A and B are shown apart, each in its own frame.
Chain A
Amino acid sequence: MPVKTPKQRRILARTGTETFVGRGEPMREITALGSPRGSQSGLLLFAAPQAGVSELLRQSFDELFRQRGGPAPVYFAFSRTDAANTAAARRFLQTFLTQTVAHRRDDPALVSAMPTLRTLLDLAAPQDYEWVERLIQDFERAQDEGDERALVRLCLGAPQQAAAAGVRTLVMFDDVHLTERLRGEVALAPAAAQAALQSGVPFVLAGPRRRLLDLLNGAAQLVPLEGLRKLHLERLKEPDARTLVDGLAKRLGLRVSDETRDLIVQQLEGSPYLITALLDAAREAGAHLESFRDFQSLYVDELLGGRVQRRYASVLEEVAPSLTLRRGLLRVLYESASGTGGKAPAEAWMKRLGADAVEFERVMRLLHMHELASFHATYVEATPTTTWRDFLRVSYRLQVAASPRALVVADTLVETLKRAPRTMARHYRREAALKLGDVMRGFNFEGVPASLLRPDLYAQKYRGLPREEVQAGLDAEAETLPLPQIVHAASCASFHPPIEQFCDEERCSVAHGFESGEYAEGVEVVWIAAEVESKLEAGRALTGLWLDRLEQVAQACGFERVRFWLVSREGFSAEAAELLNERDAYGSSREQLEHLSARLGGGGAWAREAGGAADEFAIELPMSEDTELIAAHTVEQIARRMEFQPEAINQIKTALVEACINAAEHSLSPERKIYNRFRVEGDKLVITVSSRGLSVPVSLPENGVAHAERQNGDGAKGRRGWGLKLIRTLMDDVEFERVDDGTRLRMTKYLRK
């Protein structure tokens, strides 16, 4: 009797759903391939290193397996342990049949059992017996004949055979790049792509983003991949990475402070692999991560002898199997990553490594694929990610420079601790940047009020006016300036690295575009925009300095038709505005930029962020007499700023008071604290009241019960317990959010003017 699939049981997934974060969208795309209404049949998944592509596919497998009635999911990862094409093909056939039979029987335990082909035949459902038997017989015959091509074709064609018998499958090929390591006359990656395309069944082909297309196309470029959906899997976004750290910490029973969590996310650059590795290591060491010191101690241990070290070391061993080559490679990579070498001619590296052209190209291609170096025809450069750079530094010192291990440990720990505040400061600056590149990407031939790019006009017309009046004035403004259509925007430093001496990468951008829709040489234009740091209005000298810098960029890059645009948060002094006009440059304050972004169709990422960004206020109250009034007065000020009507303000205050009272009365919170958050989200105010301890009961008497219960002689008992009822009446949306400990009540009030 087959075991029925439990709802959330893991089959191939290696992590629980609580630590599988930030991948909802790609997982939906993959599972949608199995839908009969799906418009796509094939998907190419381009993965950044350590982005967790295998886990994504495994989770997708589990999800599809649980969805009874859909296609049978098949997950197959190529492996270098197969050694030869025939072994890989044979293992694919066995995996395909095992997982398909398991799905048809609703027997997840079979997936990891790896039965023999003959056993699978016995396990196959009666309606599947015929096609499974035929496939196995054909396979045995092909194996006896020793024809590699025939065998590979037969095995990879199994999904098509199943489909012909009415059995729908969805095949996911992982680690496609490992086919390169297999012996045989067939190029296995293109063969797999070809077979998948011909089968007509939905499929996924996943591999490193820098190598996948080359592999699938193969030398002959026979596989038509143009029509396939292409999905890129990057490292986690910061909020998702934070959620991952929190989830793992909880699962592993680790204490991780918020500050340390944020440092982990920054230093490990959102890599789910590294985050999981470090937190696993913390659990094994019994170390909590409550300070930067805790984390850096663990990190240094991992760099010198833990998972991080083993991961990078194994890649280096794969790339450079001989010790001599590996030491040479370590030296050039270290010099490049530490900034002493930087970008170097490929010939110079080849000479230093003492490798011939074929060997050198193989090494560089692998480093490039793993994104540990960038290799282009004429130059090479080590990738400057933090962990890789740290690994190279310690490995170089230990293996090449033969420094004492204790000294390397001490130096690395000291350096990483000194670096931590800088890492966080860099993160904060990046978050606060106006992201002018994103704004310019939104330019699409719009005509915008001239005062948005001319500080003198803006000051003259709108200085000191309320936002609504400014808005109305801009709407009525007759003089407009035409924006170009921007076709490419990138950081200025990527065009002209010396600019990094003066500003962070994201604070200066270069955007290429056209001033009219002809796409002709005469209308090409380059906008160079920079965010000028000034707490007050930028003065003439500072403005002049920045215009000179941008001029140098334009000259160094050979840009002919350029437009300079400076943005200073507080705008520009009258003299600075005059200078901008003299030099035919544009200038905006943050306020002007906000108006400009609001006017752009779609507005660019910055505008969307700015528009959607919520002002958030937080207040932590002790549970004691009358402290809820402090919260009520705070929310009153916020609601007034939002221009709620007095009646609504009173309702909000009363609801908040009731929520605080509920928290204080029912939670039995040992810490005796109430956490209030007030978020201004466009036209609504969202209030969250949370406390640790017991959950607050949610079923409370109905409206007007005081009277009824009195009549029923319920007396004092009936006089309490109306808090939530009141809150529900006074606020527009009220819900309890699920929390592990205590209660979190979320209340929303909409602004109605």
Chain B
Amino acid sequence: MSEPLTGTPAPEAEGEVAVVYAGDYVNKLSGQRIERECLTRIERGCRALVINFRDTELVNSIGVSILLGVIDTAERRGRRVAFTNVSLHTLKLFELLGLTRLVVLAENEEAALATLGEFAAPAGH
């Protein structure tokens, strides 16, 4: 069964980037929890989101559709989204469904935060 989402505030030291943890099964219910958490973070002013899939074994197409909704919303608000700790199988699934072209992919949170930091602080600022 999917774990309850452990949406954790990002390490507050990063300030404007939130990290959200996906459960072991990303389906409709857990997808909606991710969505709610991400939208809350965006509302609170986070300018980037990291979704960590370290516990995720299985993702279904409903879960993917909800992730796409999150990406859409973030994009409309000018926010960036990064996926981290994605297993090989899930990665292939995301590739197949065209998600990987829409997000930053990073091996782990640190790498994601670093990449998003670069986007967030363009040269000259």
Contacts and interface: CB of A to CB of B under 8 A. Distances in A.
Interface of A: 625-626, 628-629, 632, 647, 650-651, 653-654, 657-658, 661, 703-708, 710, 715-716, 719-720, 722-723, 726, 729
9 contacts: A626-B27, A626-B29, A629-B1, A632-B58, A647-B89, A650-B89, A654-B60, A704-B98, A722-B61
A705 B96 CA distance: 9
B58 A629 contact: yes
A629 B64 CA distance: 16
Contact of B58 (A653, A719, A722): A653
A120 to B, nearest CB: 67
Ranked 10 nearest A-B pairs via Cβ: A707-B98, A719-B65, A650-B89, A706-B98, A704-B98, A719-B68, A722-B61, A657-B60, A706-B97, A720-B65
B61 A726 contact: yes
Contacts, number: 67
A722 B63 CA distance: 12
Contacts of B97: 704, 706, 722, 726
A677 B2 CA distance: 24
A661 B61 contact: yes
Nearest to A729: B96
B123 interface: no
Contact of B101 (A628, A703, A707): A707
Contacts of A722: 61, 64, 97
B39 interface: no
B88 interface: yes
Interface in B80-125: 88-89, 93, 96-99, 101-102
Interface of B: 1-2, 25, 27, 29, 57-62, 64-65, 68-69, 72, 88-89, 93, 96-99, 101-102
A99 B89 CA distance: 65
B85 to A, nearest CB: 16
B61 A723 contact: yes
A461 B1 CA distance: 45
A739 to B, nearest CB: 24
A68 to B, nearest CB: 49
B58 A657 contact: yes
Nearest to A625: B29
Given A647-B89, A657-B58, A705-B98, 16 more contacts: A626-B1, A626-B2, A626-B25, A628-B60, A654-B89, A654-B93, A657-B60, A661-B60, A703-B98, A704-B96, A707-B101, A707-B102, A708-B98, A719-B68, A720-B62, A722-B97
B58 A654 contact: yes
B25 A658 contact: no
Contacts of B93: 654, 726
B96 A726 contact: yes
Contacts of A657: 58, 60
B33 to A, nearest CB: 13
- In this complex, the member of B2, B57, B98 whose beta carbon has the largest number of chain A beta carbons within 10 angstroms is B98
Nearest to B67: A719
Nearest to A658: B61
A703 B93 CA distance: 11
Nearest to B100: A707
Contact of B88 (A647, A705, A706, A708): A647
Nearest to B99: A706
A706 B60 contact: no
B50 to A, nearest CB: 21
Contact of A658 (B1, B60, B88): B60
Pick from A647, A706, A715 the residue with the most CB of B within 10 Å.
A706
A651 B92 CA distance: 10
A664 B73 CA distance: 28
A650 B87 CA distance: 11
A661 B62 contact: yes
Contacts of A708: 98
Given A707-B101, A722-B61, A716 B69 contact: yes
Contacts of B72: 710, 715
A651 B1 contact: no
Contacts of B29: 625-626
B29, B60, B65, B102 interface centre (most CB from chain A within 10 Å) = B60
A651 B60 contact: no
Contacts of B57: 650
A632 B60 CA distance: 11
Nearest to B29: A625
Contacts of B65: 716, 719-720
Contacts of B2: 626
Contacts of A658: 60-61
Nearest to B59: A654
Contacts of B96: 703-704, 726, 729
A713 to B, nearest CB: 11
Contacts of A720: 61-62, 65
Contacts of B64: 706, 719, 722
Contacts of A651: 89
Of the listed residues B57, B64, B89, B99, the one surrounded by the most CB atoms of chain A closer than 10 A to its CB is B89
A690 B64 CA distance: 24
B54 to A, nearest CB: 16
A457 to B, nearest CB: 46
A666 to B, nearest CB: 13
Nearest to A722: B61
Contacts of A661: 60-62
Contacts of B69: 716, 719
Contacts of A647: 88-89
A721 to B, nearest CB: 8
A646 to B, nearest CB: 8
Contacts of B101: 707
